[in-house]
Structure 1
Amino acid sequence: MTTKLTLTVEADVIKKAKLYAKHTGRSLSELIENYLETLTEDQPAMQISPKLKKLAGSVTLPADFDEKKELRAYFENKH
């Protein structure tokens, strides 16, 4: 059974999502339903390798570290 859902989303996000849906031949409702289904699926607990466990906590970032700023700078320099 389908049920209507009202969402509040930024206008530019809706515009981009509609374009994406159109280019992929799907409806926006289908995209959102698939995303919500993926979020709520029961996933088995991911196993972390012993090597990764050993690395956890070994990196300390500054208190003012801005991940978005650093990613943007990385991709600007890369391209």
Structure 2
Amino acid sequence: MATKLTLRIDEDLIAHAKSYGRAQGKSVSRLVADYFAGLPEQEAPREATRDTPATPLVDSLRGVLKGTRLGREDYLRHLERKHR
């Protein structure tokens, strides 16, 4: 069953989509429907656990702050300097 969908899109993008659609022999509605049909199924979000392997970047950062005495005040000072 086809249902109407309203989208707010920049005029230039609409013009480009119409031009592309004409060249492909498809309406903009068909282009959008084809795009939506090609989207992967939504996966359930994974919960992080201790058993979840870390990414190489996270592994490379392990222990870099070990032995430091950084706390909440240090973080707030950092944010104040960053957002001046």
Shift of the alpha carbon at 1:37?
A: 1.2
Distance 1:31 1:7 in 2: 13
**DSSP-derived class of the 1:30 partner:** helix
Runs of 4+ with deviation above 4 angstroms:
none
Give the structure with the higher percent helix: 1
CA RMSD of aligned residues (A): 2.3
Question: Aligned residues, how many?
Answer: 47
Match of 2:12 in 1: 12
CA distance in 1, matches of 2:41, 2:9: 27
Identity in percent: 41
Normalised by the length of structure 1, the TM-score is: 0.51
Secondary structure of the corresponding residue to residue 33 of structure 1: helix
Kindly state the Cα deviation for residue 14 of structure 1 after the two structures are TM-superposed.
Answer: 0.1
For structure 2, the residue ranges without an aligned partner over 5 or more in a row are 43-55, 58-84
**Where does structure 1 lack aligned partners over 5 or more consecutive residues?**
44-55, 58-79
Question: Does the residue aligned with 2:38 lie in a helix, a strand or coil?
Answer: helix
What residue in structure 1 maps to residue 27 of structure 2? 27
Which residue of the partner structure matches residue 41 of structure 2? 42
